[in-house]
């Protein structure tokens, strides 16, 4: 039986676990060798990838697909890297749809910060082809494309190509691109294109500014993360996650992008949401303190109201979702599983459900279903809004 039964749930965050070299075959041939050399890490050619493939070829291992659906994580998970297996995983999960992101290309391999603009654009285009290809096996799998903002003139072209490929949402970095604001008026053709297509603009963890590494040099033994390594999230580096998207959203609202494109929706995915009420209050405070600025006088509403109108976010399962909803508004929060990543946990429905205890039924429905449908717009066909014969929560 599926993990979700009796009501409709949309998953705003899921991933493909691409194997080493997977993206290379989607890169334009003339840049393929240079791109591969620029992004490759020393351990990428280790034998673990072959072991992962062999494991999924083992009938004995595959016999446990259903029983271990949410227990097996990363490359062990059903449909983690083989697209032909992902529809079965979605059937067993019972989600009406999944918004699917990359795992390894979330920061576009650091190419934009390194000044490798040609490779950054090539990487984005390859990423979009890869994601569209993976999700092409099932309409419920909603591919996300990536649009670098580093090249203002190229951004609309890359977005147009991603849309034509079938991408259902377009991800941009939450960090500021080198040399100009994400609210630069030169990017208006990009926002107009995405708004016309009825698709959302998405931020995802991995595209933010990372913590200055000097903070980790405290004279004590290095803290390992829950993966057992020293290069991923810890309690301290976790603190930087919302800083870049906080600044980017403020720029987009204060500089009028939200108002110039009032039908454009923005989503912050796997960035948490406990910071959202504070951002709303802080932006309202800033707008009041600097109210003589002409750009603030032109705003259609208070910044918090503009965000409620056009911005959605996925809380982490360890956050107090009821508190976030009470302080940010019932329009904002959405469910996400982070499948098949370890961070999503083994029982996301239970954890989020417990956090929503006491919340009215209509508000819970918005969390599980309605706010995702609102975010996705034309990116989610109407016939996928609900699972037939299932009552929406």
Domains of the chain: 13-384 (3.20.20.140)
Distance CA 317, CA 320 (A): 8
Distance CA 14, CA 90 (A): 11
Q: In the sheet that 141-146 helps form, which strands lie side by side, from edge to edge?
A: 10-15, 97-101, 141-146, 169-171, 201-204, 266-269, 311-313
Distance CA 235, CA 217 (A): 15
Distance CA 46, CA 273 (A): 37
Can you give the pLDDT at residue 46?
A: 61
Q: Which residues of the chain have pLDDT under 50?
A: 230, 392-393
Q: Are 117 and 151 in contact (CB under 8 A)?
A: yes
Residue 41 CB partners (closer than 8 Å, separation 6+): none
Can you give the pLDDT at residue 118?
A: 97
Q: Are 140 and 97 in contact (CB under 8 A)?
A: yes
In 3D, which of 39, 37, 36 has the Cα closest to residue 25? 36
Instruction: Kindly report whether the peptide bond that precedes residue 340 is cis, defined as omega within 30 degrees of 0.
Output: yes
pLDDT digits (tens, 9 = 90+) for 364-387: 999 999 999 999 999 999 999 999
Distance CA 265, CA 293 (A): 25
In 3D, which of 265, 123, 290 has the Cα closest to residue 200? 265
Distance CA 115, CA 348 (A): 39
Q: Are 106 and 83 in contact (CB under 8 A)?
A: no
CA dihedral over 159, 165, 170, 172, signed as positive or negative: negative
Can you give the pLDDT at residue 44?
A: 54
Distance CA 328, CA 300 (A): 19
């Amino acid at each position: 039986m599926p993990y979700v039964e009796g009501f409709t749930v949309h998953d705003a965050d899921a991933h493909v676990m691409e194997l080493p070299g997977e993206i290379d075959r989607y890169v334009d041939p003339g840049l393929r060798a240079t791109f591969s050399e620029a992004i490759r890490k020393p351990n990428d050619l280790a034998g673990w990838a072959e072991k992962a493939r062999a494991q999924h070829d083992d009938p004995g291992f595959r016999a446990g697909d259903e029983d271990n659906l949410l227990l097996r994580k990363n490359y062990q998970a059903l449909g983690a890297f083989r697209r032909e297996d992902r529809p079965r995983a979605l059937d067993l999960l019972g989600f009406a749809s999944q918004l699917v992101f990359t795992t390894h290309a979330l920061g576009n391999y650091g190419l934009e910060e390194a000044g490798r603009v040609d490779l950054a654009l090539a990487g984005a285009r390859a990423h979009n082809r890869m994601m569209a290809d993976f999700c092409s096996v099932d309409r419920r799998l909603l591919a996300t494309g990536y649009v670098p903002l580093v090249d203002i003139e190229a951004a609309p072209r890359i977005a147009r190509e991603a849309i034509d490929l079938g991408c259902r949402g377009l991800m941009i970095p939450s960090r500021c691109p080198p040399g100009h604001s994400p609210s630069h008026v030169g990017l208006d053709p990009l926002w107009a294109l995405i708004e016309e297509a009825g698709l959302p603009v998405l931020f995802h963890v991995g595209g933010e500014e990372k913590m200055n590494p000097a903070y980790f040099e405290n004279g004590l033994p290095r803290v390992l993360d829950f993966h057992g390594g020293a290069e991923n999230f810890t309690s301290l580096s976790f603190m930087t996650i919302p800083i870049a998207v906080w600044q980017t959203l403020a720029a987009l609202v204060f500089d009028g992008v939200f108002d110039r494109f009032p039908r454009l929706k923005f989503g912050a995915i796997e960035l948490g949401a406990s910071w959202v009420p504070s951002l709303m209050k802080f932006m309202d405070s800033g707008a009041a303190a600097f109210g003589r600025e002409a750009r603030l006088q032109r705003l259609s509403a208070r910044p918090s109201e503009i965000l409620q109108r056009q911005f959605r976010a996925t809380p982490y399962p360890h956050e107090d979702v009821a508190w976030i909803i009470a302080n940010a508004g019932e329009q904002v929060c959405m469910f996400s599983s982070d499948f098949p990543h370890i961070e999503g946990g083994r029982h996301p429905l239970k954890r989020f459900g417990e956090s929503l205890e006491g919340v009215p039924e209509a508000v819970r429905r918005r969390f599980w279903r309605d706010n995702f449908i609102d975010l996705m717009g034309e990116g989610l066909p109407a016939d996928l809004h609900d699972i037939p014969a299932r009552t929406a929560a």
